[in-house]
Amino acid sequence: MTQGTKQPQPSQSTVSIKFRGQKVVVPRATKLRTALLKSGLTPHSEGAVYINCRGIGSCGTCAVEIRGVVEPSSWTVAERLRLNFPPHSVPNNSRLRLACQVSCMGDLEVVKYDKFWGEGNDPLPDLQARPESVTPLGALEFILDGGAASDASSASSGSSIEDAKRDIDTTGPP
């Protein structure tokens, strides 16, 4: 690199998320679950990709560990209820947040643990490629996310989830 050459700085309107060996850049304040799904990644594991509450905060399957700044900074009422309900339990629950309940406010590192609800002890391994499909319901996956509601309505007027995914810059492994 030429001395004095400046690296491009990421826009303050975006944040990066490292997740299972992948890195994505999303608009700041995007709900974490929405950001991952629209990037072709998912906070859900196993069959929870299909069976989850779509962001109500009741199923607990989007539980992840987050390093970085999100809002709110501590558990919401929904998180307090769900992350204290089996199979989530003390002490592992204390490190978890529900991806559907938090907004990405800074660069994040997100860890998903094993088992259906992400309640296990072992982080899921790095992905070599994006999964085939993480949004089986298409734009309806985000129907409860106010920030992504316009995507859902535009999808119903002819756009697709692929259009929504193009709105988010994604890159491969860092």
CB of 79 to ligand FES, least distance (A): 8
Site string for ligand FES, 108-147 (x = CB under 6 A): ----------------------------------------
Stretch that binds ligand FES, among 51-59, 83-91, 149-157, 163-171 (CB under 6 A): 51-59
**Nearest residue (CB) to ligand FES, 45 versus 61:** 61
Binding residue for ligand FES (CB under 6 A) from 53, 105, 111, 143? 53
Binding residue for ligand FES (CB under 6 A) from 59, 64, 66, 96? 59
Binding residue for ligand FES (CB under 6 A) from 52, 66, 117, 155? 52
Residues 71-90 within binding reach of ligand FES (CB under 6 A): 82
Q: 3-state SS of the chain? A: CCCCCCCCCCCCCEEEEEECCEEEEEECCCEHHHHHHHCCCCCCCHHHHCCCCCCCCCCCCCEEEEECCEECCCCCHHHHHHCCCCCCCCCHHHHEEEHHHCEECCCEEEECECCCCCCCCCECCCCCCCCCCCCCCHHHHHCCCHHHHHHHHHHHCCCCHHHHHHCCCEECCC
Please say whether the beta carbons of 46 and 68 come within 8 A: no
CB of 132 to ligand FES, least distance (A): 20
Residues near ligand FES (CB under 6 A): 33, 52-53, 55-62, 82, 98, 100
